[in-house]
Structure 1
Amino acid sequence: MAEDNKLSDSDGAILVRTARKAVTEFLSNGNKIKLEPEFEKKFSFNSGVFVTLNKTDGLRGCIGFPMPVKKLSRAIVDGAIAAATEDPRFSPVIIKELGDIVFEVTVLTQPKEIDVSDPAEYLSKIKVGRDGLIISHSFYSGLLLPQVPGEYGWNEEEFLQHTCLKAGLAKDFWKSGEAKIEKFEGIVFKEEIPNGKVVRESNGS
């Protein structure tokens, strides 16, 4: 997992707090926060990352970068602001909501294509709770984070089906042999309650 497997619990807390601070600042005055040099140095490696915003009644926004195209210090800020303001499934978050939102950060490994000779082998090559999935075909692509199937009680087949649906494909398209299916792992840090203690989630390994 390169540098991201060395992330400590305190590192995770810093990332989650920074995500919340970035959204608060942006919603307050439209500005991106100024990052401290120490923060930029600590998280200067490139990494995929997603920021998820949850309320008690469900998801409020989730956007990020599946590939390590940005330094984590920058990606966490851009992902947090985008999750709050650009998720097309939801209206933009307003500042008075922040007291009801739990912030969650998932730092990702590099996605790797799953090599199979028969699509049925996918079921034994992914693990619910550990792996996230990206399924793509032509112009279609869908991603689900490692924690999603556990939240909904899905097994491996249901996880594949829902990732296909997320991509805009038929739910059993993964069986066709035409889909590109990649898996990745993630380290998840989240607030226990809005603006509360940050904890590391088990990854099911």
Structure 2
Amino acid sequence: MFKPYSIEEGRFLVKLARTAVEEYLRSGKVIQPPQDTPPRLLKDKYGVFTTIEVFMGRDRRGELRGCIGFPEAVYNTAGGVIRSAIAAAVEDPRFEPMGIDELDRVTFEVSILSPLELLEPGNPRSYPGRIVVGRHGIVIQKGYYSGLLLPQVPVEYCWDSMTFLNEGCMKAFLPPDCWLDEDTSVLIYEAQIFREVEPRGEVVERDLVEELRGCKNANSSEG
């Protein structure tokens, strides 16, 4: 299981994401990692994503407000979080740029990504069995098209691995069964995820396996 950071380092990253957005919305400045940044966050390089959601209550999934990041390592971890957080707040093409008055109504989530792994080309029917919902995220690539879904997405919607692949293809603006094409690349990765439980509140590490179990149990009860 990919877990490079402690909960203390995760809390630091989530707070750093919020601080970066707040300063950018106030002054237009991109902050630098502060002096008390844990050394590993300045040394390590991982892909990172920041997700911002409108807070709907502790027991409800938030409404997406922005999500942008870097699938592969571009900056050190702290620098990547700063840049991905600002981009999620003001550059996500699906939403209008955030206003500073929204900060008390949104939560921040930071995902640290493991290196991408290409699934065996030429054997696409094996992909659903290779992808573990609750562990893996996916990237679908075909020609100029590319789509990424974080590991928390299929858990939140209680998808199976085949649905996850279909949705990944559609995220790339491709037909849902494009993953069966031999010229489509499917890559997987893992992520360590830290999030605020409420705006400016406690930061926790998400346990996707436990969340998936709860989703399945809820669906069984409804059935």
- Contact kept, 8 Å, 2:9 with 2:38, in 1: the verdict is no
Q: Aligned partners of 1:184 and 1:17: how far apart in 2?
A: 24
Superposition TM-score, scaled by structure 2 size: 0.87
Q: Helix, strand or coil: the match of 2:31?
A: coil
Amino acid at match of 1:17: K
> 2:182 aligned with 1:177, yes or no?
yes
Q: Which residue in 1 is equivalent to 2:89?
A: 84
Q: What's 2:202 paired with?
A: 197
**Does structure 1 conserve the Cα–Cα contact (< 8 Å) formed by 2:32 and 2:79?**
no
> Paired residue for 1:107, among 97, 100, 112?
112
- Where does the alignment leave 5 or more consecutive residues of structure 2 unmatched? 57-61, 211-223
Superposition deviation, residue 177 in structure 1 = 1.9
Match of 1:59 in 2: 64
- Name the structure 1 match of 2:44: 45
**Considering only aligned residues, what root-mean-square deviation do their CA atoms show, in Å?**
1.6
Structure 1 residues 112-133: Cα deviation after superposition (integer angstroms, max 9, x where no partner): 1011543110010001111000
Measured in 1, the distance between the counterparts of 2:84 and 2:4 equals 21
Q: 1:40 to 1:70 in 2, by over 3 A?
A: farther
Residue aligning to 1:10: 8
Deviations 1:11-37 (A, max 9, x none): 100000000000000001111223223
Residue number in structure 1 paired with 2:221: none
The answer (yes or no) to whether the contact 2:121–2:182 under 8 Å persists in 1 is no
Give the match for residue 20 of structure 2. Answer: 22
TM-superposed CA distance for 1:203, in Å, is: 3.6
> SS in structure 2 opposite 1:6?
coil
Give the number of equivalent residue pairs: 203
What is the TM-score normalised by the length of structure 1? 0.94
Percent identity at matched positions? 39
Equivalent residue of 1:170, what SS? coil
